[in-house]
Chains A and B, each alone.
Chain A
Amino acid sequence: MEQDTPILEVERVSLRFGGVRALTDVSFSVPRGELFSIIGPNGAGKTSMVNCISGRYRPTEGRILFDGRDITALGPNKRAGLGIGRTFQNLALFGHMSVLDNILVGRHHLMRHGFLTGMVYWLFGAQREELAHRRAVEDIIDFLEIQHIRKAAAGTLPYGLRKRVELARAIALRPRLLLLDEPMAGMNLEEKEDMARFIVDLNEEWGMTVIMIEHDMGVVMDISHRVIVLDFGRKIAEGTPEQVLADPHVKRAYLGEEDELLIDETERAG
């Protein structure tokens, strides 16, 4: 695979539900190793965009390329197998399973041994494989600092920790592209700082390309390399955090500074 092919290319993607246009003609590409954020007001189509990438929705028009390969027609489980992991906006842990089991589910597609070969595991080295999986899961548990809750039922944990377990489960499948849908929603300042640190580490040390939707502008501007802004399903700006913040369209659409802009324009007119 050529090193300078972007890991993800979104080409003129539109998504319609009946008469509702969730996305209109959105294009962008994400190079390998980038920490990329999608921002925009509520209902701008951010989650729809992530769902198109993860395969939950199929775009009405346009193409999505992963590693230069067209994945538009692939189902979500196939895409996970290719190396696209994700978290969900509304916590979606397996509430009655332990934290450990939740993370192990994330290893599903990496496990070669199934029902039958597992039964004769001493012949095929499934035990060795099991150990490797356990070790990988332990690495993740250490990294996210959730050792103390590993045996707890996921549904009983406080909110911040559940978010962390969900991240653990997503990275257990060793994604090359990690999609985070509002990883910090509903967290307090300390939890947000921890989460931001984990995301930066995943990006820099674990080498994962990250696409993140987040409402906390402080965090987005601090850690993202590049940002795109969606509004009413259209891309209205793209660039570094500074460029995007300075964009008048963004101010108008997202930051609620339309009055200021209006004043500017009336002043200029006057």
Chain B
Amino acid sequence: MQWDLLLQLTLNGLIVGALYGVVAMSFVLIYKASQVVNFAQGEFLLIGAWTCWWLLTEFRLPFVWGFLLTLVFMTIFGVLLQVIVLRPLIGEPVISVIMVTIGLSIFFQALMKWMFGVFAEPFPPIFETQAVRIAGLEVQSVYLLSLVISLAIMAAFAWFFTASKYGLAMRATAFDQQVAQSLGISVRMVFAMAWAISAIVSAVAGVVVGVVNGVSSGLSFYGIKVFPAVILGGLDSVLGAVLGGIIIGLLENIAHFFDSTILHWGNMFQIAPFYVLIVILLIKPYGLFGTRNIERV
């Protein structure tokens, strides 16, 4: 056994898993608040990363400013998407809404290819030191930063939902829109806010991945990885999304380890999460933390 490799892959799994968790959280946020299964979540990462890349390379902005401008852009983008595309769909069958988000995914995917080309583009270097050594392991400094950012976003989410006025309003809206309205909550506002926050958070993840691997349409694959993560955790649980993301990240990398050292089946890295997805759906259809309706008789 190559313990070094296993350790390295486990660490990678944790870091990538935390990013999956962040994207999964923003997916769950939209699902919880507005009951939309957003198949275009991965494209949010793509759009955020390309926007930031474009600002940095075209205008030579310092990273911080480019990053902040990207977040501003994504806020507007999220709100407009909700208001223009999804608001008219309120009350339409779920399948129509799903078709529309799949359509959005294809549309943005193509639009980004048309605007920025099909090749991966590296970000301008941001850190002086590309990698640091921790306990004998080579860790890229952007990876470390990504872990810190992921944890910060998670903490912000926790605070937002439990202690802020709009977080409470969002939970109330997720539970029952009519009642929320009767208590003075503007459901339109809550929906728009959910999409904006989701777009911002996904863009942060997109930029982080882009800095590590370069920006390419492969980024939108994170949107697909979100499904095993959220179904593992339970579709409507933010905590579940985080844990689901980390588990999927670890699983990929550990599957990859066994695949490359012992099994040699090939491509387990890509496939393993989806095997787990199927097994979970068979034995625990609500996921690990999903809400079952409380029944009282």
Interface residues of A (CB under 8 A from B): 54-56, 75-77, 80-81, 85-86, 88, 92, 94-97, 101, 104-106, 108-109, 111, 113-115, 118, 153, 155-156, 158-159, 169-170, 173
CB-nearest residue of chain A relative to B172? Answer: A105
B169 touches A108 (CB 8 A): yes
In the complex, B186 has a CB within 8 A of chain A: yes
How many CB-defined contacts (below 8 Å) exist between A and B? 92
Are B182 and A105 in contact, with the CB atoms below 8 A? no
A77 and B187 form a contact (CB under 8 A): yes
Contact of B179 among A88, A96, A156 (CB under 8 A): A88
Residues of B within 8 A of A169 (CB): 183
Would you call B181 and A77 a contact (CB within 8 A)?
Answer: yes
User: Are B183 and A108 in contact, with the CB atoms below 8 A?
Assistant: yes
Do B294 and A156 touch (CB < 8 A)? yes
B182 and A86 contact, CB distance less than 8 A: yes
- Taken together as a complex, chains A and B put the C-alpha atoms of A81 and B189 apart, in Å, by 15
Contacts of B176 in A (CB 8 A): 92, 94
Determine whether B261 belongs to the interface, using a CB cutoff of 8 Å to chain A: no
How long is the Cα–Cα vector from A106 to B184 in the complex, in angstroms?
8
Contact B182 A54 (CB under 8 A): yes
User: Which residues of A have CB within 8 Å of B119?
Assistant: none
Distance of A159 Cα from B296 Cα, bound (Å): 9
Q: List 16 A-B contacts (CB under 8 A).
A: A54-B182, A76-B182, A77-B185, A77-B186, A80-B182, A80-B184, A85-B183, A95-B294, A96-B294, A105-B172, A109-B183, A109-B185, A114-B164, A118-B164, A118-B165, A155-B294
**What are the residues of chain B within 8 A of A55 when measuring CB–CB?**
181
A80 touching B181 in the complex, CB below 8 Å, given contacts A94-B175, A156-B294: yes
B166 within 8 A of A: yes
A96 to chain B, nearest CB (A): 6
Residues of A within 8 A of B163 (CB): 118
Interface residues of B in 124-173 (CB under 8 A from A): 160, 163-166, 168-169, 171-172
